[in-house]
Structure 1
Amino acid sequence: MPGQQISQPNPPPDPSHLPDSVLDYGVQIRTAAVLHESELLALKKFRRAANYIAAAMIFLKDNVLLDRALTFDDIKPRLLGHWGTCPGLVLVYAHLNRIIRKTDLDSLLVVGPGHGAPAILSCLWLEDSLAPFWQSYTRDRAGLTHLVTKFSAPGGFPSHINAETPGSIHEGGELGYALSVSFGAVMDNPHLVVTCVVGDGEAETGPTAAAWHGFKYIDPAESGAVLPIVHVNGFKISERTIYGCMDDKELIALFSGYGYQVRIVKDLENIDQDLAASMEWALDEISRIQRAARSGQAIVKPRWPVLILRTPKGWSGPKKMHGEFIEGSFHSHQVPLPEAKSSEEELQELQNWLSSYRPNELFEVGGIGVVEGAPVEEVLAIVPKNNEKKLGMRREAYKAFQPLDVPEWKELGIEKGTQASCMKVVGSLLQEVIKRNPHTFRIFSPDELVSNKLDAVLDNTGRNFQWDVASRAQGGRIIEILSEHTCQGMLQGYTLTGRTALFPSYEAFLGIVHTMMVQYSKFTKMAHETDWRHDVGSVNYLETSTWARQEHNGFSHQNPSFIGAVLNLKPALARVYLPPDANCFLSTVSHCLRAKNYVNLMVGSKQPSPVWLSPDEADRHCIAGASIWKFASVDEGVDPDVVLVGIGVEVTFEVIAAAALLRKLVPALRVRVVNVTDLMILGPHGSHPHALSDEDFDTLFTKDRHVIINYHGYPIEVKGLLFGRPGIGRVIIEGYIEEGTTTSPFDMMLCNHTSRYDVAAAAVRAGALFNAHVSTDAHESASFIEHVASKDKEYILQEGKDPEGTFDTPKFE
């Protein structure tokens, strides 16, 4: 079985050529007599019981075991749920149970069709994996009644698999991600096989199409395996699926091209024998590949198995109604009998449908020594005896967190007053993290690691691309694939099964996974609200190659919108950091890698920039989230006329440059400079765990002076954070305003009104309201500053570069 090692693996066939018969018909195996008669009977009874419960969950609010004929009063007022995918999911679940019980397989089940919750919940109840987590779902009549009547109703399970579902590590609310999540889950889990059901609707998504390559990043010596099962039932909500319109030969050619061995499972008359034989074959192939790799004789480009399961949509449900086919059509996708509460005809059809499962044969009716409503013994004959092996009880899904050993970052600190690339310095920290955590930390990067100057990690590890001769079987900690969706999915699977990961990316393209990140945060929110799911590592995004230094790639690469996406999350889960220099970045990354349960976004520059703070100063600054930078302030910031605020590396540089410029041009102006590294402190007290109290806010920003904020992202984000603070009318915010092109770095500042000249001119006008010595010359001073800005603009347009000395570290005399 997977995970087992032998000294001499069976000699593998040449994987580079497949015979024509395989390409035409897929892998052919014997299916007769794989199952003993008792196993076959148990499988069929388990499936009948689970399908009955799943259908009942959609419709019934009473009479859950059909003790009498159904009436309209037995039907729920709102019929919610998706029936069409349920019979296929039940079929897979039943066979996984059977093979786990037979072989002691360690497996998780990831379900792409998340709306198939009735199928999964019914199986969890049958195997008694609900009650250990949710006490009211006991395996008896009372528990079954609660499961059926409260499904998709207040106080019960929602219509969708989510974090409240035992055994789940994937919600499936947004289609496309089940496969990549599965590959992430098996990384560094050599004992584990994740069975992943991919619906043929989900298979149409771009993320799934890219994720089929995921096995090419799985080293069978160090990681487990994914067994994909493509459930082809032919229909989506109201249309045929692409896969449903492909014949076997086309599907075999497609998946053979991806690099898989394909087995078609479609013998409806003998579906249990067919699927049982196919799963045993697939697991034997997985074991063969792993044994070879773990004995030092790895197969080059092994062909992992994939099963194509063809069953009718809504199988075993109503066949026809009102002249329309239901089973085998899109009409079975959601609620096959939507008028069952008001139509006698549909109510009778529901009665016939539920009765066809013969529930009286599946559930105990009571008696001495018998638990009423419990599944009969034959239904349970395929359920694993070891509770920890049950799909709903796997510790990997809810209790597997392994904290990282993160080094003391100050030992890597940079001398104050020098220049350093934040990313290069962070790369050195990550190199040490990898060294200390060789099996619990990975970096998922969309082919931008070196470009983002994090390549120091490659001194200690490599890329884990098994189809590259230089990378395979080297234990690399870096997954680079030019698909942000696949990186995000793998990161989710890796994190939710107890490990920690980092996702570095160009700033402009993190938005590609915006909705994936939101779906993940919804999962973790619900996980927080359970009392049985334990901590997981934080999801850590490192956003660099920012708009402020993407002047060379142009307007298409200038987009800081992912910040806003994280700001919209539940405050208890979201963190956004904009460290201003290398030492602050070291402190922030170190903190985020230790943190649990959050979505952390760190935004910074890969280009060399001044190191404003010593390691000790950076430590205190990051703990506080913001502080007054006395070295750039007049009289260390005491009694200011105006407050200048930088949030972000490059825009903070412009604030410091503005302060230095004002020191020369308007020496009477009293300036306080503040840097904010933790964006969340700005919100009103109570709006976020990090939000400053009103007293602390006023201490930093004064009660009545104008505050000029130079912000890395869109100004509306800071406006939204500050809403609710008293006196926000005195705050002026500049940031990225969708202006840019292929130009110079400083011209990007000028285009977006975040340059030192914009800050300085605004400071003179605002400070003049409080300082008579400034007000007499304010208009003249501000006009001169704007004139200098226009001259720099002319120079840039004429010479094609910034004026000399533009980015020299400002000096304060």
Structure 2
Amino acid sequence: MGSERDGTRAYRRAADYVAAALIFLRDNVLLREPLRREHLKPRLLGHWGSCPGITLVYAALNTLVRERGTDVLLVTGPGHGAPANHANLWLEGTHEDYDPALARDGSGLRELARRYCAPDGFPSHLSPAVPGTIHEGGELGYALSTAFGAAFDAPDRLVACIVGDGEAETGPTAGAWHSTKFLDPATGGAVLPVLHLNGYKISSPTLFATMTDAELTALFRGYGWDPRIVDVTADPGGDPVADAVLDAHTAITGIQRRARAGDPDERPAWPMIVLRSLKGQGAPHRVGGERIEGTFHAHQVPLAGVHEDDEQLAALEAWLRSYRPEELFDEDGRPRPHVLAACPAGERRIGMRPAGDGGRLRRPLDLPPPEPYAVAVPGGPGTATASPTRVLAGWLTEVMRRTEESRDFRIMSPDELASNKLDEVLGASGRAYTWPVHGYAEDLSRGGRVMEVLSEHTCQGWLQGYLQTGRHGLFPTYEAFAPVVDSMLNQYAKWLKMSHEVPWRTPVSSLTYLLTSEGWRQEHNGYSHQGPGFIDNLLTKKSTVTGVYLPPDANTLLVTMERLLADTGRINLVAAGKHPAAQWLDLDAARRHCAAGASTWRWASTNGGEDPELVLACAGGIPTVETLAAAHLLRGDLPAARIRVVNVVDLCALAPPDRHPHGMADAEFRDLFGTDTHVVFGFHGYPAAVHQLLHGRPRPDRFHVRGYVEEGTTTTPHDLLVANGVSRHDLAVTALRHLRGHSAAADLAASYGRRRDRLRAEIRRTGADPAEITEWRWQP
């Protein structure tokens, strides 16, 4: 063990050398000849500043793995420090195991340097192409919550998480420090955060760098952590980072041992490390009168003028030679035995842990059949009433029961489960919380798998980490506030798109948002709660990793969720209502409808939906009601009109098949919408989303989409619909404008307009929707 510890400093020198070489060199990567400009890369990319600190942590974790056999997964928040991760993966042989061209010799190192920041190679930050990685770190703030997601229900796993001190300034990271209060030491693993305090962001000091040790200790103790401060700015002898990691691991196993013996700590104070090091430690101290090491000038690429400046070229060569590569690599470029002695062997290597490719660990969920939970519609469409999410809750409760032993399904929600009528699941699993609560509370459980915290960022980070390590989950939230995680959605969609392009990546369970408390029924909460724009953001992402579903009733919601909880490799959005509403399809019809993505509702159409003069289309629960009400008006007042009613449940079915894998074939699209027929479309969200999907279809100008157009206030449900032009009367008036062959159309449209306006005046007088609206039911 002593010799292995002695080799750690040589190992760190080797890793730092390789990391710097990846940034600067495309040839002469082992400096076997004097450095010349033709050896340099034409573009210098990467963030050297965090590389030495990442290697310090990686090497310390290697010591932990070697000496105690611990299962370690690493989440690296400073993703642009990727040269360090690559260096460690190359030294431990993981890169070679995934790709023999990256062998641990001179040719393999030259190939790794060639690929780093090259077209079709490795990007400047972490990515799915990097083994052992579940988090990119391109956008800062999400590493810590992702690490906790990876630790839940993985009792033998230690997730080490490097949090940059710049990243620590973000709101999502600030919220994620509370995650220990949700981690059950009896059933979960542990997270060991390392706050890498190297002092600087791109061009200014970090907030945490201005804090004293006493202030840092007070802050993290207040969060509930047990901090350990390690200062290597003077590069002392020994291995203080490894010592701190081993000490933290001893504390972690103590917390877990007591909990698993039935005597859990009341407020477990999990250890964390504050690592003080110089920014870009090891870089030249000063060049050309400018300080580099220990300043923000080392943050990205030091010596960025090396292509033109002779002094910088000489300084770069001196810097690289200071690592004494001839002592670290043999004549063939292989790391020498004393360097490799610091690496764990085989599957214990950090880059080779199965959780780093979590699809390998994934097992399909044991999903219950939806039949016992389906709503019967014995009297025909619209004759039964149910809350879609309350019906779904019964099915999800059984999912929770079936996964009680496997513990591979969780629900992450920002304190909205009861509001969204999903609280029945608490009968199968309580709300996760490990700290004592002094006061009244319901359904709290240390081992609970329902997780509620008022931070959408934390919920999504938890769920991403959980899914990326082979498990399953669901993210229910208010529709209006899902855009809080717009940027996280962006990052994760890119991660999934790239994952599909990495041959060895195994697909993980899809991330599914269940958006409820939808804007059309947020009239009481007002304008701030009325916003369906999350759909629009998802539709901008690669079609191979996205899906949008708008089930119109409880049975279509059940069928949709049964499909999506078995899905892999995607981000899916489901918008569904929580209030009691009419049920249109029995379960068999719901299955056929969802399989098609969109279909004609012949029972709501005239002439059986054949040879239509006009199509009334709809997508979303509330617009479906208004569209059917408009169809009912027209059937009664203009019976000669041939009107087809089409409901769309898979929104992306509208797209041409060459633009989305769910897109209907051209023939199917024509069968529903014709080629010249006008279509009046009542839509759940912003009209532009439908127009975007229809691009490339025949004559998209014939689609007249009515949706949310940013008109809202605290009002009544029907008044909100009228304000946005989505009410039954607005849809009917729009339809009549395109039923030109009927002489009564114009007068009827005027009549509907007057009726709409009278109803609105009545709403203003009474403050409530009239019975004509609230008591309307479909009648054939």
TM-score (norm 1): 0.93
Give the alignment partner of residue 384 of structure 1, picking from 325, 344, 354: 344
Say if 1:468 and 1:567 are closer, same or farther in 2 by CA, change over 3 A: farther
Counterpart of 1:448, as a letter, is E
1:674 to 636, 646, 650: 646
* Secondary structure, counterpart of 1:131 in structure 2: helix
Correspondence 1:696-707 to 2 at 5 A: 696-707=668-679
Instruction: Write the distance in 1 (CA, Å) between the matches of 2:119 and 2:677.
Output: 50
1:698 & 1:153 partners in 2: Cα distance?
Answer: 45
2:183 is aligned with what amino acid? I
Q: Which residue of 1 aligns with 2:772?
A: 805
SS in 1 for 2:236: helix
Aligned ranges for residues 32-51 of structure 1 at < 5 Å? 37-51=2-16
Name the stretch that deviates more: 718-727 or 121-130: 718-727
1: CA distance between counterparts of 2:478 and 2:446?
27
2:600 aligned to which of 607, 628, 644: 628
Taking the aligned partners of 2:641 and 2:235, their CA distance within structure 1 comes to 87
Deviations 1:529-587 (A, max 9, x none): 11111121000100011110000000000110100111111111100000000000000
DSSP-derived class of the 2:13 partner: helix
SS for the counterpart of 2:704 is strand
Matched, 1:495 2:461: no
Secondary structure in 1 matching 2:646: strand
Kindly indicate whether the alpha-carbon contact (under 8 Å) linking 2:288 and 2:311 is maintained by their aligned counterparts in 1. Answer: no
Amino acid at match of 2:136: E
> Among 620, 639, 646, which residue is 2:618 paired with?
646
**Is residue 2:87 matched to residue 1:122?**
yes
Once residues 98 and 4 of structure 2 are traced to their aligned partners in structure 1, the CA distance between those partners, rounded to angstroms, is: 29
Q: Is 2:389 the partner of 1:423?
A: yes
How many residue pairs align between the two structures?
A: 766
Amino acid at match of 1:200: D
- 1:307 aligns to 2:273 (yes or no): yes
Label 1:292 to 1:785 Cα distance change in 2 as closer, same or farther (>3 A). Answer: same
Q: Which amino acid aligns with 1:357?
A: Y
> Matches of 2:543 and 2:598 in 1, distance apart?
18
Q: Does the aligned pair in 2 maintain the 1:219–1:473 contact within 8 Å?
A: no
Gaps of 5+ in 2: 378-382
For 1:96 and 1:333, the matched residues in 2 are separated by 24
- 2:314 equivalent to 1:335: no
AA aligned to 1:522 is: K
Equivalent residues in 2 for 1:631-780 (5 A)?
A: 631-768=603-740, 771=741, 774=742, 776-780=743-747
Q: Secondary structure at the match of 1:657?
A: helix
Q: Contact (CA 8 Å) 2:329, 2:335: kept in 1 or not?
A: yes
Deviation at 1:805, TM superposition (A): 3.5
Alignment match of 1:279 (pick from 209, 220, 245): 245
The correspondence of residues 537-552 of structure 1 with structure 2, limited to 5 A, is: 537-552=509-524
Instruction: Give the drift of 1:651.
Output: 0.6
Residue-by-residue CA offset, 1:301-327 (whole Å, 9 max, x unaligned): 110001000000000111111211100
Q: Does 1:583 align with 2:555?
A: yes
Alignment of 1:439-478 (within 5 A): 439-469=407-437, 474-478=446-450
Residue 786 of structure 1, aligned match among 745, 753, 762: 753
The answer on whether the counterparts of 1:421 and 1:605 sit within 8 Å (CA) in structure 2 is yes
Secondary structure of the 1:667 match is coil
State the shift of 1:703 in Å: 2.0
Q: Residue 393 of structure 1 is aligned with which of 329, 336, 352?
A: 352
Query: Which structure 1 segments of 5+ residues have no match?
Result: 1-35, 366-371
CA distance in 2, matches of 1:544, 1:234: 43
- CA drift of 1:686 comes to 1.2
User: Match for 2:367 among 406, 416, 423?
Assistant: 406
Contact 1:248 1:264 in 2 (8 A): yes
Aligned to 2:140, the other structure's residue is in SS state coil
Whole-Å Cα distance in 1 between the matches of residues 569 and 526 of structure 2?
36
Cα drift, residue 807 of structure 1: 3.2
Does the 8 Å contact 1:633/1:672 carry over to 2? yes
Counterpart for residue 30 of structure 1: none
Deviation of 1:272 after TM superposition, in Å, equals: 4.4
8 A Cα contact 2:182 2:446, kept in partner: no
CA shift in 2, pair 1:632/1:272, >3 Å:
farther
**TM-fit CA distance, 1:212:** 0.2
Q: Report the counterpart of residue 380 of structure 2 in structure 1.
A: none
Work out the CA distance in 2 between the residues paired with 1:276 and 1:616.
60
Deviation at 1:675, TM superposition (A): 0.2
Instruction: Give yes or no for contact 2:266–2:436 (8 Å, CA) kept in 1.
Output: no
Measured at CA, do residues 811 and 208 of structure 1 come closer, stay the same or move farther in structure 2, by a change above 3 Å?
closer
**Deviations 1:441-490 (Å, cap 9, x if unpaired)?**
00000000000110110111110011244666542110100000000000
For the pair 1:234 / 2:199, whether they are aligned, the reply is yes
Among residues 187, 201, 215, which one is paired with 2:166 in the alignment? 201
Aligned equivalents of 2:622 and 2:236: distance in 1? Answer: 66
Contact 1:319–1:326, Cα closer than 8 Å, also in 2: yes
Secondary structure of 2:30's partner? Answer: coil
1:632 and 1:812 in contact (8 A); partners too: no
Match of 1:172 in 2: 137
In the alignment, is the contact (CA less than 8 A) between 2:433 and 2:446 conserved in 1? no
> Residues 200-254 of structure 1: CA distance to partner in whole angstroms, max 9, x if unpaired?
0000000000000011100000000000100000000001000011110110010
Q: TM-score, normalised by structure 2?
A: 0.97
Q: Residue 297 of structure 1 aligns to a residue in which SS?
A: coil
Structure 1 residues 271, 507: closer, same or farther in 2, change over 3 A?
A: farther
What is the aligned partner in structure 2 of residue 247 from structure 1?
Answer: 212
Q: Distance in 1 between matches of 2:447 and 2:616?
A: 48
1:602 is the counterpart of 2:574: yes
Say if 1:660 and 1:810, in contact at 8 Å, map to a contact too.
no
For 1:458 and 1:154, locate their aligned partners in 2 and report how far apart those are by CA, in whole Å. 50
Contact 1:216–1:467 (8 Å) recurs in 2: yes
Match of 2:27 in 1: 62
Contact 1:234 / 1:313 at 8 angstroms: preserved in 2? yes
Q: Who is 2:78 aligned against?
A: 113
8 Å CA contact 1:182, 1:196 repeated in 2: yes
- Could you say if the C-alpha distance between residues 427 and 272 of structure 1 is closer, same or farther in structure 2, counting changes exceeding 3 Å? farther
Which residue is 1:294 aligned to?
260
Deviation at residue 809 of structure 1 after TM alignment: 4.5
Is the Cα contact below 8 Å between 1:234 and 1:243 reproduced in 2?
yes
Match of 1:21 in 2: none
Instruction: Give the superposition deviation at 1:40.
Output: 3.7
User: 1-side partners of 2:62 and 2:11: how far apart?
Assistant: 10
- 191-200 or 140-149: bigger deviation: 140-149
- For 1:132 and 1:450, the matched residues in 2 are separated by 48
Question: Identity of aligned pairs, percent?
Answer: 48
Q: Is the 8 A contact 2:228 2:272 kept in 1?
A: yes
Asked if 2 retains the 8 angstrom alpha-carbon contact of 1:140 and 1:373, the reply is yes
Superposed CA deviations along residues 320-343 of structure 1, whole A, max 9, x for unmatched, are 112111000000001101011121
Residue 16 of structure 1 aligns with which residue?
A: none
Amino acid at match of 1:415: A
Verify: 1:345 aligned to 2:307, yes or no.
Answer: no
- The CA deviation at 1:37 is 4.9
Please tell me the residue identity of whatever aligns with 1:293: A
Q: Which amino acid aligns with 2:270?
A: W
Whether the 8 Å contact between 2:59 and 2:242 is mirrored in structure 1 is: no
Q: 1:132 aligns to what SS in structure 2?
A: helix
Change (3 A) 1:666 1:155: closer
Contact 2:480-2:532 within 8 A present in 1 as well: yes
Q: Distance in 1 between matches of 2:445 and 2:613?
A: 63
Matched residue of 2:57: which SS? helix
Other structure's SS at 1:572 match: helix
Q: Distance in 2 between matches of 1:718 and 1:151?
A: 40
Deviations 1:48-91, CA, capped at 9 Å, x for gaps:
00000000111111101101111111111111111000000001
Which AA in structure 2 matches 1:460? A
> CA–CA distance in 1 between the matches of 2:517 and 2:649?
18
Give distance in 1, aligned partners of 2:594 and 2:13.
58
